Amino acid sequence: MSESAPPLRNLRAGPATPDPAPAQVVKAKAPENMAVNKVLCDACPVLCQISEGRLGACDRWGNVHGKLQRMDPVVLMTRPGTVLVPASPQEWDGQLLHQNAPVFVSGVASGTTYPDYKPAPFIVASRQQGVDMVTVVTESIFSYCSFKIKIDTDRYLGPEQATVRFAGEAVGHVTTIEYGSQFLSLGGVHHLTGGSRREGRMTCELMERLGNQQPVDLVIEDGASLRVQAGKAPVVNGVEEQRMRVGCGSAAIGIFARQWFGHADEVVVVDDHITGVLSEHQAGKCLDMPPTGIRIRGRKSTPGRYFQVAKPGTGWGGTDIDDPLVIIEGWDPKVARPGLRLLMVSTTGEHAQYYVLDEALLARAVPMPAPLQAVVDRIGENCEPSLVTVLFVGGAGGSLRAGVTENPILLTRSIKDLLTRVTCAGAPAYIWPGGGITVMVDVTRMPAGSFGSVPTPAIVAPIEFTMRRLDYERLGGHTDRIRRLEDVWATDPHRVIPWIPHNPWPLESLR
Ligand code: SF4
């Protein structure tokens, strides 16, 4: 909702009439035909009319004895190393606030600013090393948000741009592969609002579950079936992934060339993207390795580096092959010789086979010598555990800023100037460069259960803006709504949880 502009004043027309008193709207007016035993929830655009003793459509708000109430208490998080004294928090009078704030008011269950004409539900004053600080706390309703999923695996998940489905509905797509990881982009306003009602509902459910670190089952068109969960190993076609590759085939050649030297005449590192061939590779040249006459299928990129040796799949090195010899077209009889020692290995070391060429220049599998096995094992040792990372990306540069300040652009600038720190349930948020306030946060750094949803459909996520009080005043903040942390503690139902380890304390010096 936008406020109407103040009346223009004619500066030459003599003394101006006094400005009207500023509007003091604290609660939305209920519709005239609403039953008297109901309360109107205006925490999101659904505008539920809730009967006494019942919950609204999202189960987050209810009518308790005729009053609208957020059903979960706001979540406070204790500063690392802080023991709240005395042992019973109910008896604590906030004395520690004279020093450094012992708790941080998070946005989890704090309530929203919707319809964005009202100040944020919590604007909290605290102190940090003698400096007066303010944290503006709210739950934000995000229609423009998505999740970027990083899946550490070489297995083929599906073609780039392929549709990803959840419960049969299109909820996102496969995006680019990065080094050792494959990425999905899930959710977003297109799927939330641009398709059928069911597509929107399923997208919202998927996003809420991903954000709350729960497992979700996905199917990629012309690709794999997946189970992904933040902070856990991905499951591809029913098999739990173990290792993230050490590098591409060419990188593996470079890393281990000297360790293979003298124990094999040729090494081929099989990779869906760049298969490496030691004797041709620059690393082999530096070791004065002679040519072996090997001919590899696929497209030669540069010496010892081959593209497209096979189709992508769930076999050796993210290809579709089970027998690595199929990528060898043959051997040049003028160069190759019987007895030549060949190692073929994948980029994770999960697949490896040692061969010796016979009199007909055919590769015969034989037991692997111990020195080569040690290097294969070292490839595995250098592979990090395969993991799913779930990053929430949301656009916070819109109307929720009105809950912070009367002049929203000043909040945007304050964040870009590093005067205001943005966190999501205390987790540090990366702010994308350029316009707006596009936040990105790792959901495993947030308390489990931080995300909610409303049936518009949209995602509800906590967000906090922390700055010096002086800076809050300068950006036109709602200073008349600032409350002392002691008062929040004393009067607002709350739940105290520990700080998430490794997250920086948001009240620490901002610059
Ligand atoms: S769906 Fe929206 S209006 Fe209904 S109870 Fe939830 S937040 Fe309130």
The percentage of residues in the chain with a pLDDT greater than 90, rounded to a whole number, is: 78
**Closest ligand 1 atom to 50 CA:** 5
Would the pLDDT of 25 be above 60? no
pLDDT computed for residue 511 by the predictor: 57
Amino acid type, 276: G
Q: What is the mean pLDDT of residues 241-251?
A: 91
pLDDT band at 399 (very low <50, low <70, confident <90, very high): confident
Top-confidence residue, 21 or 253: 253
Would the pLDDT of 173 be above 70? yes
The rounded distance, in Å, linking the Cα atoms of 479 and 501 is 32
Q: Work out whether the CA dihedral 403, 405, 409, 412 comes out positive or negative.
A: negative
pLDDT computed for residue 102 by the predictor: 86
pLDDT band at 8 (very low <50, low <70, confident <90, very high): very low
Residue nearest to atom 5 of ligand 1 (CA): 56
The rounded distance, in Å, linking the Cα atoms of 37 and 235 is 50
CA-closest candidate to residue 82, choices 50, 104, 108:
104
**Closest ligand 1 atom to 114 CA:** 7
Q: What is the mean pLDDT of residues 124-129?
A: 90
Top-confidence residue, 400 or 169: 169
Residue nearest to atom 2 of ligand 1 (CA): 44
CA dihedral 243, 244, 250, 255 (to 10 degrees): -70
pLDDT band at 313 (very low <50, low <70, confident <90, very high): confident
Q: Residue 109 C-alpha to ligand 1 middle, in angstroms?
A: 13
pLDDT computed for residue 305 by the predictor: 96
Q: Residue 446 C-alpha to ligand 1 middle, in angstroms?
A: 23
Q: Work out whether the CA dihedral 316, 321, 325, 327 comes out positive or negative.
A: negative
**Closest ligand 1 atom to 455 CA:** 1
Q: Give, for ligand 1, the residue of 42, 48, 141 to mutate: max count of ligand atoms closer than 8 Å to Cβ.
A: 48
Q: Lowest-confidence range among 10-24, 272-286, 388-402?
A: 10-24
Q: Each residue of 26-41: pLDDT tens digit?
A: 555 667 777 778 999 9
**Closest ligand 1 atom to 47 CA:** 3
pLDDT computed for residue 90 by the predictor: 57
**Closest ligand 1 atom to 44 CA:** 2
The percentage of residues in the chain with a pLDDT greater than 70, rounded to a whole number, is: 90
Q: Give, for ligand 1, the residue of 46, 47, 139, 204 to mutate: max count of ligand atoms closer than 8 Å to Cβ.
A: 46
Would the pLDDT of 463 be above 60? yes
Q: What is the mean pLDDT of residues 346-357?
A: 96
Please state, rounded to an integer, the average pLDDT across all residues of the chain. 89
pLDDT computed for residue 81 by the predictor: 79
Q: Give, for ligand 1, the residue of 40, 41, 55, 116 to mutate: max count of ligand atoms closer than 8 Å to Cβ.
A: 41
Would the pLDDT of 251 be above 90? yes
Q: Give, for ligand 1, the residue of 39, 44, 453 to mutate: max count of ligand atoms closer than 8 Å to Cβ.
A: 44
pLDDT computed for residue 16 by the predictor: 40
Q: Residue 46 C-alpha to ligand 1 middle, in angstroms?
A: 6
Top-confidence residue, 11 or 282: 282
DSSP E strand boundaries for 352-416: 352-357, 363-366, 388-395
Would the pLDDT of 88 be above 90? no
Q: Give, for ligand 1, the residue of 454, 456, 459, 460 to mutate: max count of ligand atoms closer than 8 Å to Cβ.
A: 454
Would the pLDDT of 9 be above 50? no
pLDDT computed for residue 36 by the predictor: 77
Q: What is the DSSP string of 433-474?
A: SSSS-EEEEEGGGS-TT--EEETTTEEEEEEEEEEEHHHHHH
pLDDT computed for residue 11 by the predictor: 31
Q: CA Rg, the chain, in Å? A: 30
Would the pLDDT of 359 be above 60? yes
pLDDT computed for residue 17 by the predictor: 43
Q: Residue 286 C-alpha to ligand 1 middle, in angstroms?
A: 67
Q: What is the mean pLDDT of residues 15-31?
A: 52
Q: Residue 173 C-alpha to ligand 1 middle, in angstroms?
A: 30
Amino acid type, 43: A
Q: What is the mean pLDDT of residues 126-153?
A: 93
Q: Residue 454 C-alpha to ligand 1 middle, in angstroms?
A: 6
pLDDT band at 92 (very low <50, low <70, confident <90, very high): low
The rounded distance, in Å, linking the Cα atoms of 210 and 461 is 12
Q: What is the mean pLDDT of residues 411-428?
A: 96
Would the pLDDT of 78 be above 50? yes
Using CB distances shorter than 6 Å, the residues near ligand 1 are 41, 43-44, 46-48, 56-58, 60-61, 454-455
Q: Lowest-confidence range among 9-13, 63-67, 148-152, 327-331?
A: 9-13
pLDDT computed for residue 155 by the predictor: 85
**Closest ligand 1 atom to 42 CA:** 3
Contacts of 72 (CB under 8 A, 6+ apart): 60, 108, 109, 495
